[in-house]
Amino acid sequence: MVGSGFIFIWRALVLMHMLPGILAWGKEGHYATCKIAEGLLTEDAAAAVKVLLPEYAEGDFASVCSWPDEIKHNYHWRWSGPLHYVDTPDFRCNYEFCRDCHDSHGHKDRCVTAAIYNYSMQLTTYRESVSEWKYNLTEALLFLSHFIGDVHQPLHVGFVGDEGGNTIVIRWFRRKTNLHHIWDNMIIESAMKTFYNSDLATMIQAIQRNITNDWSTDISSWENCASDRKVCPDPYASESIKLACKYAYRNATPGSTLTAEVVRNLLPDYVDGNLSALCTWPDQIRHWYKYRWTSSLHFIDTPDDACNFDYSRDCLNDMCVAGAIRNFTSQLLHYREGSSDRRYNMTEALLFLSHFMGDIHQPLHVGFTSDLGGNTIELRWFKHKSNLHHVWDREIILTAAKELYGNNMELFQEDIQKNFTDGIWSDDIASWGECDDLFSCPNKYAAEGIGLACKWGYKGVTPGATLSDKYFISRFPVVAKRIAQGGVRLSMILNRVFGNHNQKIPAPT
C-alpha cells in the first residue's frame, strides 16, 4: 500500500521545466509578413505607410513590425498584452468571436481579432486632415501590421488551458522549450538554417516566388473578405485554430503540460521544480502522528457489491479521496487569487492533490468496505504472496515493467504517452479532460473507479486464488489507461487552477 507503484509510474508523466514563454510570432515571422505586404501595396497605401512610419524606421516598414512585442511588457503598454492572441476552449478546435474574444478577466474585445478591427477602423480616418486625427495612426499602423501576423500564427489562436501551447513543455531537437515558442521561432530558425543559408531575405524571396507561382491561383481566395468589412480577422482566427489542432497540438503531449512556474515556487528548492519527485510524500507521512488525519483521504469505501459511488453516502464529512481532491483544489484556487488562508500550506496542498489524483485513478482505491479495497483478499501473484489491493497498486505495473519494457520505466512511460498523443486513446483524450465543474470531477473519477474495480478487479477473484498471466494480460490495459487518465486530468486541474485565464470556476459545494 505504501509507496504505490501506481503513483510511481504516473507521476513520472508529470514533467515540467520550461522556458519563459515568448508571446509572439518571433521577429523573423513578423519581419517576413510585413516585408511581403510591403511588396504588394498600392501606390496610395505605400505613400501613407511612408508618412506614418516613425523616423527611426528610416523607411523600412518591416523593421518596426515587432514594435508591439518590444513595448508590451512596459508598464505603460501592459494593456496591449492580451491583444496579441485569442484563447479558445480546450480541444474544441474552433473559434467564435463572441465566445472567445476577451481577456483573462472576461473583459470583452480584448483579443487579437478585436484589435485588428480597432486599428483598421482607426486607419480609415487617415484621409481626414491631420489635425482631425483622433488616434495616433503611427501606432495604429504598427499594431495592425503586427496583429495580422499574430493571428496567422496557429498557436496565437490556441487552447485556453495551455495558454496557446505556452505551458506545453517539449523538446525541439535537443533544446527544451515550449510548443508556443516552437511555432513562434524555432521552426522558422531551423528552416532558415537548413534551407536558406541562415538568410532571412532568401527565405522571404522563396515565399514571394511561391506567391507568384505555386500559390498564385489561391491568392484571390486569401484576400477574399466575405462581409462588407474592411478586414475580416475572424476567418483567419478560425483557420489558425484548425491548423493548431491539425499540426501544432498533434504529438504534443498534454500529459506534460503544467503551470510550471507556480508549481516550481511551491516546491522545496531541493527538488528543482520536479513534482514527480515528491508525489509519494503523502504516503510517507500518513502514519506520522501529525498527519494521521490524512489516512482516510487515500481511498473510498463503498458498500459491498453495490458497484457505484454516492458522495453523500460514501464520503462522510468529506473525509475520502474525492473530498480531499475538492479540499486541496479549493485551497490552491485561493493561492491563485492571492487570498490564500495562512492556515493552509500551499506546498502540502499541491502534493496532496497530485497524490490523490493518482489514488483515485487506482480502481481498488475505490473498493468494497468489508475487504478494505481488496487489502484483506490474500492471494498469490504468480509465485509469491500478495493481496488484491497490492496487485493493483504495484504487481501489475512491476510485472509489465519487467516483461514488456525490460525494467525500463521510461519506455513504459513513453509508451503510455504515445498512446494518448497518437495512438489508441488519442480520440478519447478530449473527453477525459471534460469536466465543467471542477468540484464534481472527482465524483466522476470515483464512479469510474468502482465500476472498473467490479468489472476487472474483483471479478473472478476468490481469496487464496493464484493470479497469473491471464489476469495480468487482461488487466494491464486497464491499469495503463487509468495511469494516463490520472496524468492528463491532474494537468488539466492544475492548469485550470493556476492558469492565467478566464475559466469559470464555481465555488466549492
Ligand X SMILES: *[C@@H]1O[C@H](CO)[C@@H](O)[C@H](O)[C@H]1NC(C)=O
Q: Summarize as ranges the residues that interact with ligand X (CB under 6 A).
A: 12, 54, 83, 109, 114-115, 118, 135-136, 138-139, 206-207, 210, 214, 268, 274, 276-277, 293, 297, 318-319, 323-324, 327, 344-345, 347-348, 415-416, 419, 423-424, 480
Identify which of residues 42 and 213 has a Cβ nearer to ligand X in the complex: 213
Identify which of residues 238 and 417 has a Cβ nearer to ligand X in the complex: 417
Identify which of residues 38 and 380 has a Cβ nearer to ligand X in the complex: 38
Contact 127, 48 (CB under 8 A): no
Identify which of residues 266 and 388 has a Cβ nearer to ligand X in the complex: 266
* Smallest distance from ligand X to CB 305, Å: 27
Residue with cell 510570432: 25
Cell numbers given for 94: 474552433
Contacts 24+ apart (CB under 8 A), 500-506: 500/104, 500/163, 501/87, 501/104, 501/160, 501/161, 501/163, 502/87, 502/102, 502/103, 502/104, 502/105, 502/106, 502/160, 503/160, 503/161, 505/333, 505/438, 506/437, 506/438, 506/439
* Smallest distance from ligand X to CB 55, Å: 9
* Smallest distance from ligand X to CB 385, Å: 27
Identify which of residues 373 and 442 has a Cβ nearer to ligand X in the complex: 442
For strands 466-467 and 157-159, give the pairing. Answer: unpaired
* Smallest distance from ligand X to CB 98, Å: 14
* Smallest distance from ligand X to CB 375, Å: 21
Identify which of residues 213 and 220 has a Cβ nearer to ligand X in the complex: 213
For strands 378-381 and 466-467, give the pairing. Answer: parallel
Identify which of residues 207 and 219 has a Cβ nearer to ligand X in the complex: 207
- Using Cβ positions, the residue closest to ligand X within the complex turns out to be 480
Residue with cell 509510474: 9
Identify which of residues 71 and 307 has a Cβ nearer to ligand X in the complex: 71
Cell numbers given for 302: 463503498
Give the count of alpha carbons within 13 A of 472, CB side only: 18
* Smallest distance from ligand X to CB 348, Å: 5
Other C-beta atoms lying within 10 Å of the C-beta of residue 355: 28
The edge-to-edge listing of strands for the beta sheet with 466-467 is 384-387, 378-381, 466-467
Relative orientation angle of helices 346-360 and 469-498, to the nearest 10 degrees: 150
Cα(124)–Cα(120) distance, integer angstroms: 7
* Smallest distance from ligand X to CB 378, Å: 28
181: closest CA among 377, 11, 10, 29? 29
* Smallest distance from ligand X to CB 461, Å: 22
